[in-house]
Amino acid sequence: MAVVPLEAGLWEHLVVDCDGFVWIAGPTGVRCLWPRDDHEKGWQTPAGSAASAVATALGLSPDGRVLVPLANGELIQLDIDATGRTIQRTLAQVSTTARCLHTDTDGTIWAAGDDGLYRQPAPQPTWHVDWEQQPGRLPGGGNHDIFSVPWQGRLYMAGGLTRRWGYPTQERVFDELFAFDPASGCWDVISRMSFPRRYNGISELDGRIWIIGGEGELGERDGERTTLDVVDIYDPSSDTWTPGPRLNQVRTDPFVMASGGRIWAVGGACDPTTKLQSVESIGSGESAWRWEPDLPEPIRQGGCCALSGVLYIVSIDGVFAFDTATGRWDGALQQPGDIGEAPLVAAYEDEVWMMGGLRCDRTRCYNPVTRTWRDGPRLPTQQSWGAAAVLNGQLYITGGAHRSDMHNATMYDDRTWMLRRNR
């Protein structure tokens, strides 16, 4: 276990905010540590009124940042940018010093003081109107280059990557198979793959979870990754793994989905710079993948879904649709405009939802009947490279990454949100 030196003092409270900053507080004041940054910086002292604050509590604000009560009754949200500058914002004012803080799933701040309980509704507008953050975080921290698939009341997700793991931080590719339970709102590690893997597709066929392609650390050299044609199949009923038929083409970042009793692997890349145009599929009981009609152009980096027998593939190169019944690509599909790199995609309530992308928090929804796009609810963050799936009629988004110019860093997320229905 790494030990981070800390000045002597009385430290009574600790929270970790949405970006991984560790905050401690007490009569000695408030201190902040960002393990993802240069660890030699150690603990930082915020400037301004928080510098000398005798903190009686710590909490998290509606946006997931640290919330500190001051002696004058102010509840302030704190952050520290890449230059060490303190960013301070007053969110509420109570008549006494708060002893306990809590922000609920609606974004309402609750503060308990010596003279009673205070309630501060979330500022408007807020993403809490449309999204509800789930209580559990991804085991192991922020994760991206991921996709998820539902099966028998749970979501499954395999592998992924973070570039800020442990302390001091380092890059890590995951070998875990994760499962999400909507009843608890938590993810668990239920098994492990035979090697660390990222950019792999995931799908379900015949009650088994297929892990398809991607990039793997196969042990030839430390940290060296191989683009894969490997398919591994997990059986949840027996908690066992078996090898599946290898792809015809090595594929990292393939678009993988199931439709019509088949799994489809579309596009991707065979190396870091060469996108693929080829498509292949496999059906129940088959021992080999078969070639399918090529994409209109090579694509990678995005999301996909299947809706009413049509495969929808979304990337920075555009939106493509393939009718599995006719074996044809739709050459007249209306495009939504600019698409940020690696958006999250899911089929939800008879529409194709394209969410986020690099530096983008927009949601755009495609209706296959009217062949039109409309705007949907904005995401809680500008998210990309994350997972999106529908489970029991509910839309969930998980993990991914977004760029923070304030922190001069890419933030790898460990949160899961559920879309609020009929809100």
Identity of residue 72: N
Collapsed DSSP state (helix, strand, coil) of residue 158: strand
> Residue 404 is inside which H or E element, if any?
strand 401-404
Distance CA 306, CA 303 (A): 11
Residue of 123 and 423 predicted with greater confidence: 123
Say if residues 405 and 359 touch (Cβ distance below 8 Å): no
Q: How many helices (H) and strands (E) does the chain have?
A: 0, 43
Tell me the domains of the chain and their CATH numbers: 13-128 (2.120.10.30), 131-419 (2.120.10.80)
Give the integer Cα–Cα distance in Å for 417 and 99.
29
Task: Report the pLDDT averaged over residues 282-291.
Answer: 97
Give CA separation, 396 vs 17, 131, 280, in Å. 21, 9, 28
| Mean residue pLDDT across the chain | 92
Phi, psi dihedral angles at 41 (to 5 degrees): -65, -30
- pLDDT single digits (tens) 146-184: 999 999 999 999 999 998 787 778 889 999 999 999 999
Q: Collapsing DSSP states into helix, strand and coil, what is residue 127?
A: helix
Q: How is residue 128 written in tokens?
A: 């809490």
- Residue 208 CA: distances (Å) to CA of 82, 234, 257: 45, 6, 13
pLDDT higher than threshold 60 for residue 38: no
pLDDT of residue 55: 84
Band (pLDDT 50/70/90 cuts) for residue 241 is: very high
Q: What does the block give as tokens for 387?
A: 């997972």
Please tell me the distance from the alpha carbon of residue 70 to that of residue 333, in angstroms, as a whole number. Answer: 56
